[in-house]
Amino acid sequence: MMVESASETIRSAPSGQNGVGSLSGQADGSSGGATGTTASGTGREVTTGADSNGEMSPAELLHFQQQQALQVARQFLLQQASGLSSPGNNDSKQSASAVQVPVSVAMMSPQMLTPQQMQQILSPPQLQALLQQQQALMLQQLQEYYKKQQEQLHLQLLTQQQAGKPQPKEALGNKQLAFQQQLLQMQQLQQQHLLNLQRQGLVSLQPNQASGPLQTLPQDLPQLWKGEGAPGQPAEDSVKQEGLDLTGTAATATSFAAPPKVSPPLSHHTLPNGQPTVLTSRRDSSSHEETPGSHPLYGHGECKWPGCETLCEDLGQFIKHLNTEHALDDRSTAQCRVQMQVVQQLEIQLAKESERLQAMMAHLHMRPSEPKPFSQPVTVSAADSFPDGLVHPPTSAAAPVTPLRPPGLGSASLHGGGPARRRSSDKFCSPISSELAQNHEFYKNADVRPPFTYASLIRQAILETPDRQLTLNEIYNWFTRMFAYFRRNTATWKNAVRHNLSLHKCFVRVENVKGAVWTVDEREYQKRRPPKMTGSPTLVKNMISGLSYGALNASYQAALAESSFPLLNSPGMLNPGSASSLLPLSHDDVGAPVEPLPSNGSSSPPRLSPPQYSHQVQVKEEPAEAEEDRQPGPPLGAPNPSASGPPEDRDLEEELPGEELS
DNA sequence: ACTAGTGTAAACATAC
DNA sequence: GGTATGTTTACACTAG
């Protein structure tokens, strides 16, 4: 029941969820806050509006920017709407990124839309584009902000000098440090901001994208530190340096974040009515986690400062702690540096992996950067980010194919996401295990709904255990352990889990000594899904054409699964056939590749078109694993040759599920 | 329009 | 009686 309460906070209006229609239904959960926000927003913001001039704190600035992001999206929608209503009005730009917005939706006032709604209306690529624009904008603002700060400092300095009172170096140093600290804070806030957006479902995690702008800062920061540390260097100079660095940073970041694709700077800063964006709702995000009472360094009741972990009952206490224990001193500064290095290392690592991925994809003739026919510029951005990243395959996978699709599943609407999303991922066959393997950390920490069906998740959970059986409670635990998302709406998803267990024949309840455990009947599981993909000419076509980069990618991932999945040790993705047999779990979601049954020897007859091999693979593997089912053998993990062995062909059928059930 | 798959909500039964 | 676990039904949504 505490669980219940937790869930309640999220879906404030469970009732009527279905009835009201998708939009409201979906939004309700998240927007319990969102709605409130809009309401309150009108009232509140004025304060934030007060322009920087040094008055705006980093946090405020962030909020402001976040607001703007939403605003831009809204504005975008408005444009779309107006475009629809008045055909003559549509400019070229609009057509370029043409969003197919349902008229009914388009008629809504964009300003009334919640992030989730926007997410539903805009395809992930579109959102992506918006966000990128916004990020560019944000960086500009950051730059301005720091320029102002710099000017202020400079001014102060001059004043003091004029007063004939050369400020002690230490004082200057302190200022500078404070400044730098602020910079760090900005970074954190920015990061949090991105995370928030992502959580709101406005962005699917796009590592490169997320790291892009952020990446530049940390890289430049060391220079700042150096500047600071440089003995004998006048503080003033270093300050200037900072300014320069920032400028450079912002510039590069901007160019990075705002690729050619999009139109001009966007006049989105102001609302249709000319009102500055700032004046709109303060922040929808507040509806979610980003409550005013949160702090990037505070979580789960403890201080997140590296190496600290001091318990703090509430934010107030934490703030106090932060100010006393982590004030601006040598130690903190050093820790900051260390943290920066950590980040840098990770970024370097990411860059390397990205590069490798690019090379691999290039080798496989998949051109990540190649623009897709359908989704114009916007998609491109999505695609671009994709390769780099750790990715969110499902998301992008789905996106390119149908322009009009529902909100990015990958990004997964956090709350009350529609069924469709998950399904699509399923269809695209992204192997859950590989996806999970790759994004394990992401799902674990980000409050993003995993793009898999409950059934596939449950199955994954069960198959991940050595004996391939779990109690309901263990399944729950797996969910919460693996996905941050499932740490929230407990009542809802637990119910769904139970529902799925009962509903699907593929889940078999077995009475155990300890009680009842659930197992998976692979055959049933496979049966569930019609082998559409197998023969679907359209799919094949899509895959081949590269139109559906995502789909390709999915298969690519499938092939890659082994390599990426920790447990699986793969002999080489080059040989799909073997791979297939190897991937014990990865199958899953795959959409079905295929007919489970006649696995007769799939070995020889390659009747599937090339692109599909991945699917085929999965199919087989499933059976294999199914078969051995109860085998003590390490399920997925163990690289047990036995399972992976030659077997792909074998008969899975023989084995009765019954036995597992026993 | 129909169907299948899925998600969500809820009522109910049963066991501990 | 409360809770966890299962089962079942209903409804909504999306895609084929």
Comparison of pLDDT for A657 and A291, the residue scoring more: A291
Measured in degrees and rounded to the nearest 5, phi and psi for residue A507 equal -100, 120
Using alpha carbons, select from A448, A441, A524, A458 the residue that is nearest to residue A202: A448
pLDDT digits (tens, 9 = 90+) for A305-315: 777 777 777 88
Residue A479 contacts strand B, CB under 7 A: no
Instruction: Work out the pLDDT band at A19, boundaries 50, 70, 90.
Output: very low
Q: How far is A261 from A265, CA to CA, in rounded Å? A: 11
Asked if residue A279 lies in contact with residue A49, where contact means CB atoms within 8 angstroms, the answer is yes
Return d(Cα A87, Cα A215) in angstroms, integer: 41
Residues 7-36 of chain A: which lie with beta carbon within 7 Å of strand C? 18-22, 25
Alpha helix stretches (DSSP H) within A86-202: 92-96, 103-106, 115-121, 124-162, 169-199
Nucleotides of C under 7 A from a protein CB: 3-16
Q: How far apart are CA A34 and CA A39, in angstroms?
A: 9
* Look-up of token digits 């290392």: A345
CA distance A538 to A544: 10
More confident residue, A16 or A512: A512
Instruction: Give me A53's structure tokens.
Output: 């001039």
Q: How far is the CA of A102 from the C1' of B11 (A)?
A: 36
Q: Rounded to an integer, what distance in angstroms lies between the CA atom of residue A366 and that of residue A361?
A: 5
- Strand B closer than 7 Å to the CB of A427? no
Find and give the residue nearest to B10, measured CA to C1'.
A495
In the numeric block, which tokens belong to residue A651?
């008969």
Token look-up 């920017």 returns: A65
| Tens-place pLDDT, residues A147-182 | 555 555 555 555 555 444 444 444 444 545 554 555
Phi, psi angle pair for A638, to nearest 5°: -50, 135
Q: Which residue is nearest to nucleotide C5 (CA to C1')?
A: A472
| Closest-CA residue to A333 (of A176, A186, A187) | A176
Q: What is the tens place of the pLDDT at every residue in A312-352?
A: 778 888 788 788 888 777 777 777 676 777 677 777 777 77
> What does the mean pLDDT of chain A come to?
49
What's the pLDDT at A456? 87
- A576 forms beta bridges with none
pLDDT tens readout for residues A202-248 = 344 333 333 333 333 333 333 333 333 333 333 333 333 333 333 33
- What confidence tens digit (pLDDT) does each residue in A560-571 have? 333 333 333 333
Q: Is the CB of A505 under 7 A from strand B?
A: no
Q: What pLDDT is attached to residue A518?
A: 92
Q: Name the residues in A531-560 having a C-beta closer than 7 Å to nucleic acid strand C.
A: 532
Q: How many CB atoms lie within 10 A of CB A282?
A: 25
Q: Which residue spans within A431-524 are E strands per DSSP?
A: 507-511, 516-520
CB A400 within 8 A of CB A442: no
Distance, in Å, from the CA atom of A225 to the CA atom of A227, rounded to the nearest integer, reads 5
A513-524 average pLDDT score: 82
Residue-level pLDDT at A302: 75
Rounded to 10 degrees, what is the CA torsion of A574, A578, A583, A588?
90
